[in-house]
Amino acid sequence: MPAIPIIMPQLGESIAEATVISLLVKVGDLVQTDQDIIEVETSKATMNVAAPCPGKVEKFLVEPNESYAVGATLGYLQASPDDAARLGLDSPAANAVPPETEPGTTIPEQPHTDGAPKRKVQPTVRGLPVPANAAGASYMSPRMKARMIELGLHAADMAGLAGSGAAGRVTIQDFEKFVENLERHKLSQASSMRVAVADAMRRSWTRPLATVALPVCFDPLLAHRKQCVPKPGPALYALRALAIALSENSAPAGRLIGNKIVHPTSIDVGFAVEAEDGVLVPVIRGADKTLLKVLVPRYDELVELARQRKLPTDATGGSIATVTNFGTFGLTWATPIPLPEQTLVLGMGAARQVPKWDAAKGQFLPMMEANVTLSFDHRVLDGGAAGRLLARVAQLLADPASL
């Protein structure tokens, strides 16, 4: 009877190997198609390898607690000629693998500290999203740090770099090859603003961030805006609503420093303005204490100064949250990232006309609706607190006259 190979499947993006935990059947057992026969573990989850067809387990080529590459032959099933033909394995050479190139073979590496040999598989899959063993520059020698400082690079710049050193570490040789390869590409100088934004986002992403969202009816806001002279920008409505909500409970805007929550002393809220090759964040001080109609001239002035990159020092820095209107770009949903010194960023999507059921009239009526998101530092806030804050903002937006 034909021997059908049991192959280690692709178990997820960027997963190139898995460790065998246990054999769920014995040699000689009869198995059915898709029956679980081997339990394996990846860096992300525990999964099972299933039988490709009905048959009898002929032999296993694996041992528990050993790692094998995706595409490796884990064993063989004795199957019928019809099943072998269906799987394209009806020719004698179809599943023949030369011993020196058989996938899943292991090669010795440096021993563990307990003396047991450490084994590493040779990945057999090509085209993974990132190199299979790319851990990035998690450890950097003093020499390598000095070289990176010299070139103005950060560890995040090499997040997808596979190292050739012990335990996959990126060596200075790996780094120099990486830099040499960069020189073969077209390069352009990043502006000082782009570098500053990149540095801020890199520092922000060191925290656990999350986002909650609510669809909000914008009909009251749009109707109120039509009656105003001058007209407030949509982001100003959101800024004022957030400021009022935080004045009622400022704890969500606190910052975690060590084991202490640092509460804000003033409700100073910033708003994102797109400038040349970057984003600037002007700040409105005491936004909870000034009515919307009074804030409009100052808001418009700061928008113009930001676009000219001429913001005064008293209108930059020190804000406790930011509002961003990503709906300006036609986006309906986004997950903005809070600035490193902030816990919160409120986002507004583009308003769209959607049907809303009117129970009194028994029919659907058109409504302008936009998604409002709140991204937050999950160390300070949980989903419940973030949801309550966002619900209060939505409630205030539904009554723009109160702003």
CATH code at 203-402: 3.30.559.10
Specify the pLDDT at position 47: 84
Tell me the two tokens of residue 323.
């509002």
Q: What is the mean pLDDT of residues 57-71?
A: 89
Specify the pLDDT at position 109: 44
* CATH topology classification for 3-121: OB fold (Dihydrolipoamide Acetyltransferase, E2P) (2.40.50)
The more confident residue out of 241 and 164 is 241
> What percentage of the chain has pLDDT greater than the value 90?
44
Q: What is the mean pLDDT of residues 202-209?
A: 86
Query: Model-level pTM?
Result: 0.63
Specify the pLDDT at position 139: 62
73-78, strands of its sheet edge to edge:
3-7, 73-78, 55-60, 30-31
> Each residue of 79-88: pLDDT tens digit?
888 888 777 7
* SS (HEC) of the chain: CCEEEEECCCCCCCCCEEEEEEECCCCCCEECCCCEEEEEECCCCEEEEECCCCEEEEEECCCCCCEEECCCEEEEEECCHHHHHHCCCCCCCCCCCCHHHCCCCEEECCCCCCCCCCEEECCCCCCCCCCCCCCCCCCCCHHHHHHHHHHCCCHHHHCCCCCCCHHHCCCHHHHHHHHHHHCCCCCCCCCHHHHHHHHHHHHHCCCCEEEEEEEEECHHHHHHHHHCCCCCCHHHHHHHHHHHHHHHCCHHHCEEECCEEECCCCCCEEECEEECCEEECEEECCCCCCCHHHHHHHHHHHHHHHHCCCCCHHHECCCCEEEECHHHHCCCCCCCCCCCCCCEEEEECCCEEEEEEECCCCEEEEEEEEEEEEEEECCCCCHHHHHHHHHHHHHHHCCHHHC
Closest CA to 211 of 338, 84, 110: 338
Specify the pLDDT at position 132: 53
Q: What is the mean pLDDT of residues 23-45?
A: 87
* Domain layout of the chain by residue ranges: 3-121, 142-187, 203-402
- b/e per residue, 222-255, with b = 16+ CB within 10 A? eebbeeeeeebbbbbbbbbbbbbbbeeebebbbb
Torsion angle in degrees (nearest 10) through CA of 108, 110, 113, 117: 10
> Each residue of 237-290: pLDDT tens digit?
999 999 999 999 988 988 888 888 888 999 999 999 988 778 889 999 999 999
Specify the pLDDT at position 137: 57
Lowest mean pLDDT among 8-12, 126-130, 370-374: 126-130
> Each residue of 308-346: pLDDT tens digit?
888 888 898 889 999 999 999 999 999 999 998 899 999
